[in-house]
Amino acid sequence: MPVQAKIGPSILNADLADLANESQKLINNGADYLHLDVMDGHFVPNLTFGHSLVKCLRNKIKKEFFETHMMVSRPDQWIEPMADAGVDLYTFHIEPVMAEVSSVCRKVRESGMKVGLALKPGTEVQVVEKYVDMADVVLVMTVEPGFGGQSFMGDMMPKVQWLREHYPNLDIEVDGGVGPKTIEACAKAGANMIVSGTAVIQASNQRDVINSLRSTVQKYTNNTCTHVH
């Protein structure tokens, strides 16, 4: 099955006091999934929100695909609560749990969620090699995790290329500074799951930006595999 272009706005830049409406608006404007940034104030300096907010959001938005990007020191601690909150894809950073990646993957899978492995910019992409069979998605961070509004790191693209060459059917996600100006580099390298925060949330026409990101990705995925709708 060829990989599909999917656009997942990061709701971190949205009005968090009106999250359900903001999220629904993104879905109505064509988002394929929602990317929820969870930060613990430890693995990254900032704090965002936890499973109780995700659960409230799930009560309002019943069916859409939720990914939580767990920028936390102890990803195993939140597996059950996030599964209970209705999360579909649990993407965690491997850096704080290098010795336990396999067991965290297993627990995530057993809880009924899909598994995502996230890599900070300083982490070599080859370290995921031994875990890739256990994962549904690999997320290559294109900024340092923990802060919105940073500039896109184009020098992360070789990681994406390496993953695409070695794992043609893997969902490869990029997150950080991705928008209309940087999407071409991501798509060309082989990313098919695109997290975009500010560029989508603050756009005067969200639908246009989402469509344009998607069509750029499709242009490149279609070059390497059959056409996907």
Tens of pLDDT, residues 36-58: 999 999 999 999 999 999 999 99
Distance from C-alpha of 113 to C-alpha of 121, rounded to nearest angstrom: 25
Give residue-wise pLDDT tens across range 130-186. 999 999 999 999 999 987 678 999 999 999 999 999 999 999 999 999 999 999 999
Q: What is the CATH number of domain 6-222?
A: 3.20.20.70
41 close to 74: Cβ distance less than 8 angstroms: no
Residue 176 CB neighbours (<10 A): 25
Say what the pLDDT of residue 2 is: 79
Which residues carry a binding-site annotation for substrate?
10, 69, 146-149, 177, 197-198
In eight-state DSSP terms, residue 40 is B
What residues form the annotated binding site?
10, 35, 37, 69, 146-149, 175, 177, 197-198
Confidence of residue 227 (pLDDT cuts 50, 70, 90): very low
Q: What is the mean pLDDT of residues 114-140?
A: 98
Residue 225 above 60 pLDDT?
A: no
Among candidate residues 32, 37, 40, 171, the one labeled active-site is 37
Active site residue 175: yes
Q: What pTM did the predictor assign?
A: 0.95
Based on the number of CB atoms within 10 Å of its own CB, is 90 exposed (0-12), middle (13-18) or buried (19 or more)? buried
pLDDT of residue 146: 85
Domain edges within the chain: 6-222
- Give the pLDDT of residue 224: 52
Whether the CB-CB separation of 123 and 94 falls below 8 Å is answered with yes
The yes-or-no verdict on residue 223 having pLDDT over 90 is: no
Higher pLDDT, 98 or 224: 98
For residue 13, what pLDDT is reported?
85
At residue 150, the pLDDT reads 81
Count of CA atoms in the C-beta half-sphere (13 A) of 180? 13
Instruction: Give me the mean pLDDT over the 22-33 stretch.
Output: 98
User: 49-83 pLDDT, tens per residue?
Assistant: 999 999 999 999 999 999 999 999 999 999 999 99
Among the listed residues 88, 136, 171, 175, the single catalytic one is 175
Would you say residue 228 has pLDDT above 90? no
Per-residue confidence band for 229, with pLDDT thresholds at 50, 70 and 90: very low
Residue 37 among the catalytic residues? yes
Three-state DSSP string of 127-183: HHHHHHHHCCEEEEECCCCCCCCCCCCHHHHHHHHHHHHHCCCCEEEEECCCCCCCH
